[in-house]
Structure 1
Amino acid sequence: MANTQNGVAAVDEMLPAGKLFLYGLQHVLAMYAGAVAVPLIIAAAAGLTQTQTAFLINADLFTCGIATLLQTLGIWKIGIKIPVIQGVTFAAVTPMVIMAQEGGMTLIFGSVIVAGLFTFLAAPFFSKLIRFFPPVVTGSIITIIGISLLPVGINWAGGGVGNKAFGSLTFIFIAAVVLVTILLLNKLFTGFISHIAVLLGLIVGLIVAIPFGLVDFSGVSAAPWLGIDIPFHFGVPKFDIGSIIAMILVMLVVMVESTGDFLAIGEIVGKKIGEEELTAGLRADGLATALGGILNAFPYTAFAQNVGLVGLTGVRSRFVVAVSGVILVVMGLFPKLATIIASLPNAVLGGAGIAMFGIVAGSGIKTLAKVDFDRNVNNIFIVAISIGIGLIPTLVPTFFQNFPSWSQTIMHSGITLGSITAIILNAFFNGSKGAGNLDELKANAGMRE
Structure 2
Amino acid sequence: MKSDHTPAGDAFGEKISLGKNIILGLQHLLVMCPGTIAVPLIMASALELDAETTAFLISANFLTSGILTLIHVLGIGSHVGAKLPIILGSSFAPLAPMIVIGQNYGLAAVFGSIIASAIAIFILTFFMDKVLVLFPRNVIGCFVALMGISLAPTAIRDLAGGPGAPDFGSVENIILGTLVMVSILLMQRFGNSFISAFSLLIGIVAGTVIGSFFGMVNFASVEQAKWFQMVTPFRFGAPEFKLVPIALMTVFCIINIIQCIGVYSVLDEISGTETPNEQRINGIRAQSIGQMISGVFNSVPSTMFNENISLLDLTKVKSRSVIVTSGIMMIALGIFPKFSAVVTMVPKSVLGGVTLVLFGIITASGISMLSGLDFSKDNNFTIVGTSLAIGVGGNFASEIFTQLPSTLSMILSNGLFMVSISAILLNLLFNGKKGLSRKSLSD
TM-score, with structure 2 as normaliser: 0.93
- 1 CA distance for matches of 2:313 and 2:188? 12
Determine the structure 1 residue equivalent to 2:185.
183
- 2 CA distance for matches of 1:32 and 1:311? 19
Determine the structure 1 residue equivalent to 2:423.
422
**Structure 2 matches for 1:34-433, cutoff 5 A?**
34-76=35-77, 77-374=79-376, 376=377, 378-433=379-434
- 2 CA distance for matches of 1:431 and 1:279? 24
SS at 1:87's partner residue? strand
Shift of 1:158: 0.8
- 2 CA distance for matches of 1:70 and 1:440? 28
CA 23–234 in structure 1, closer or farther in 2 if over 3 Å, else same: same
**Which residues of structure 2 form unaligned runs of 5+?**
none
- Is 2:16 the partner of 1:15? yes
- 1 CA distance for matches of 2:384 and 2:313? 22
- The superposition leaves residues 203-222 of structure 1 with CA deviations (integer Å, 9 ceiling, x where unpaired) of 12112211111011111121
- 1 CA distance for matches of 2:37 and 2:62? 8
- 2 CA distance for matches of 1:35 and 1:186? 27
Shift of 1:435: 8.1
- 2 CA distance for matches of 1:315 and 1:328? 20
How many residue pairs match? The answer is 435
| Bigger shift: residues 40-49 or 84-93 | 40-49
- 1 CA distance for matches of 2:271 and 2:29? 19
- Is 2:32 the partner of 1:26? no
Shift of 1:440: 7.7
- 1 CA distance for matches of 2:335 and 2:366? 37
Which amino acid in structure 2 is aligned with residue 407 of structure 1? Answer: L
Shift of 1:170: 0.7
Which amino acid in structure 1 is aligned with residue 348 of structure 2? Answer: N
Which amino acid in structure 1 is aligned with residue 29 of structure 2? Answer: V
- Does structure 2 retain, via aligned residues, the 8 Å contact 1:128–1:275? no
CA 58–440 in structure 1, closer or farther in 2 if over 3 Å, else same: closer
- 2 CA distance for matches of 1:275 and 1:124? 12
- Does structure 2 retain, via aligned residues, the 8 Å contact 1:111–1:243? yes
- Does structure 2 retain, via aligned residues, the 8 Å contact 1:71–1:80? yes
Shift of 1:326: 0.9
Which amino acid in structure 2 is aligned with residue 18 of structure 1? Answer: G
Shift of 1:157: 0.5
- The superposition leaves residues 326-385 of structure 1 with CA deviations (integer Å, 9 ceiling, x where unpaired) of 1110000100110001111100001011100011000111111211113x1611222211
- The superposition leaves residues 13-32 of structure 1 with CA deviations (integer Å, 9 ceiling, x where unpaired) of 23211111111111111121
Determine the structure 2 residue equivalent to 1:447.
none
- The superposition leaves residues 150-208 of structure 1 with CA deviations (integer Å, 9 ceiling, x where unpaired) of 11101100110112322111111001110111011111124232122111111121122
CA 341–2 in structure 1, closer or farther in 2 if over 3 Å, else same: farther
- Does structure 2 retain, via aligned residues, the 8 Å contact 1:158–1:166? yes
SS at 2:37's partner residue? helix
- The alignment yields a C-alpha RMSD, in angstroms, of 2.0
| Bigger shift: residues 112-121 or 39-48 | 39-48
- 2 CA distance for matches of 1:301 and 1:409? 18
- 1 CA distance for matches of 2:166 and 2:226? 30
- Does structure 1 retain, via aligned residues, the 8 Å contact 2:135–2:436? no
**Which residues of structure 1 form unaligned runs of 5+?**
442-449
| Bigger shift: residues 304-313 or 416-425 | 304-313
Which amino acid in structure 1 is aligned with residue 33 of structure 2? Answer: Y
- Does structure 2 retain, via aligned residues, the 8 Å contact 1:72–1:321? yes
SS at 2:118's partner residue? helix
CA 427–274 in structure 1, closer or farther in 2 if over 3 Å, else same: farther
Which amino acid in structure 1 is aligned with residue 124 of structure 2? Answer: A
Shift of 1:307: 2.7
- Does structure 1 retain, via aligned residues, the 8 Å contact 2:137–2:442? no
Which amino acid in structure 1 is aligned with residue 179 of structure 2? Answer: V
- 1 CA distance for matches of 2:209 and 2:63? 28
